């Protein structure tokens, strides 16, 4: 199968459009039209990870962190980063990265972190992108209506909160006058004519619009259906970055910090807190570098905040606000490796795809606690 088939399915789950501005998500190296047989899932793409992919015969690397945060200024292979690019290309490996779109996705990175902490009643920490919703209408002759309707709903149209494949249709008559070059089967040029048609209407999420219209075009005679797409002001799905939820029972700050060490399997962490005996139960979590959002977490009612890469001066601000923060490191996002592999395995079964899935066995955390 082609890389594009897996990526198209993934981008229904975590559309690139919900990534933060200027985040270089998506294809990093290679081609989406390349065929692949073995995908390696990793948090980071580092030289040792590329060698791991080469050794196991993986021809697709799927990572959370983009391999190309900054453009290469030259291709001097004495630079290990450039040599890594050369190794990727010389072994015909495609690299795709899903970063803040995976962070914001429903059931994605921040939900995985919240689930690991066993938080309940979780909500988004801060609102990200709204995926718009549209009303799609297709006019079709009655004999083709079933094929078009099935193509629409089969591609995801009409999925509502408690219903799948919901659509509405009505009969009508289309009047027209053929001009030069028109289909001769639809009447003589210059003569007024009409045809009985059905209009099929369904709600469509923005990230699925292209897929659904393509599905309609593939079954519609001639491949040029009459489509009408209208944006809905009261539709759309709100994606959120970070999560906030509740522990089953209260803990002290010290107990919660020890709990985080166990949950995320880290040998050490940084704790910003004045009172280690303060009870906490409402927890905010944001994977990656989220220190700057601590005031938001506090304003949302969190008793404590879990995030990575807290800066020195930000830590002082947290102390001044008397708001405890646990920094277990950026690498806790490695939770994505087994979770992505599980997703890919599920989709492989559903679509009867044939490819192998491996989880990187390497620890790419650059820090060692001594």
Task: Please give the annotated binding residues, written as ranges.
Answer: 64-65, 103, 330, 333
Q: Are 316 and 291 spatial neighbours (Cβ–Cβ below 8 Å)?
A: no
CB count within 10 Å of CB 209 equals 18
Half-sphere exposure (Cβ direction) of 180: Cα atoms closer than 13 Å: 0
Q: Are 306 and 335 spatial neighbours (Cβ–Cβ below 8 Å)?
A: no
Hey, what are 119's tokens? 């938080």
Residues in the chain: 370
Q: CB within 8 A of 17, min separation 6: which ones?
A: 101, 129, 131, 206, 207
Q: How far is CA 270 from CA 123, 241, 298, 325, in A?
A: 25, 22, 19, 8
Q: How many helices and strands in the chain, by DSSP H and E? A: 11, 15
CB count within 10 Å of CB 172 equals 11
User: Taking every pair of C-alpha atoms in the chain, what is the biggest distance, in angstroms?
Assistant: 87
Binding residue numbers for a divalent metal cation: 64-65, 103, 330, 333
For tokens 């200027």, name the residue: 22
Write the Ramachandran bin of 340: left for phi over 0, alpha for psi from -120 to 50, otherwise beta. alpha
Hey, what are 263's tokens? 């949950």
Q: Which residues pair with 133 in a beta bridge?
A: 205
- Kind plus residue range of the DSSP H or E element containing 313: helix 312-320
Q: Are 248 and 118 spatial neighbours (Cβ–Cβ below 8 Å)?
A: yes
Edge to edge, what strands does the sheet with 168-176 contain?
A: 168-176, 193-205, 133-140, 226-231
- Kind plus residue range of the DSSP H or E element containing 296: helix 294-299
Half-sphere exposure (Cβ direction) of 334: Cα atoms closer than 13 Å: 19
């Amino acid at each position: 199968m082609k890389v594009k088939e897996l990526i198209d399915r993934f981008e229904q789950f975590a559309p690139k459009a919900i990534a933060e501005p200027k985040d270089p998500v998506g294809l990093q190296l290679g081609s989406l039209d390349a065929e692949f047989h073995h995908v390696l899932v990793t948090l980071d793409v580092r030289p040792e990870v590329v060698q791991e992919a080469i050794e196991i015969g993986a021809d697709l690397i799927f990572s959370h962190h983009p391999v190309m945060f900054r453009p290469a200024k030259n291709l001097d292979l004495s630079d290990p980063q450039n040599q890594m690019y050369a190794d990727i290309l010389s072994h015909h490996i495609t690299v795709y990265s899903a970063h803040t779109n995976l962070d914001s996705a429903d059931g994605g990175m921040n939900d995985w972190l919240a689930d690991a902490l066993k938080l309940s009643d979780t909500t988004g920490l801060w609102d990200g992108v709204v995926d718009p919703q549209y009303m799609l209408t297709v006019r079709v002759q009655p004999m083709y209506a079933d094929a078009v309707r099935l193509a629409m709903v089969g591609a995801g149209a009409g999925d509502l909160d408690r219903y799948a494949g919901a659509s509405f249709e009505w009969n009508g008559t289309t009047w027209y006058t053929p001009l030069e070059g028109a289909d001769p089967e639809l009447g003589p040029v210059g003569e007024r004519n009409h045809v009985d048609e059905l209009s099929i209407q369904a709600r469509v999420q923005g990230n699925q619009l292209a897929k659904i219209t393509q599905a309609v075009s593939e079954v519609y005679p001639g491949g040029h259906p009459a489509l009408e797409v209208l944006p809905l002001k009261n539709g759309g799905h709100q994606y959120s970055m970070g999560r906030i939820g509740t522990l089953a029972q209260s803990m002290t700050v010290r107990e919660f910090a020890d709990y985080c060490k166990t949950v995320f399997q880290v040998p050490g962490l940084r704790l910003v807190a004045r009172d280690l005996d303060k009870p906490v139960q409402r927890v905010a979590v944001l994977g990656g570098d989220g220190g700057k959002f601590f005031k938001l977490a506090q304003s949302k009612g969190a008793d404590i905040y879990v995030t990575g890469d807290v800066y020195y001066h930000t830590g002082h601000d947290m102390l001044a606000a008397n708001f405890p923060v646990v920094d277990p490191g950026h690498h806790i996002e490695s939770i994505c490796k087994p979770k992505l592999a599980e997703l890919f395995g599920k989709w492989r079964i559903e679509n009867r795809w044939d490819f192998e899935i491996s989880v990187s066995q390497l620890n790419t955390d650059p820090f060692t606690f001594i």
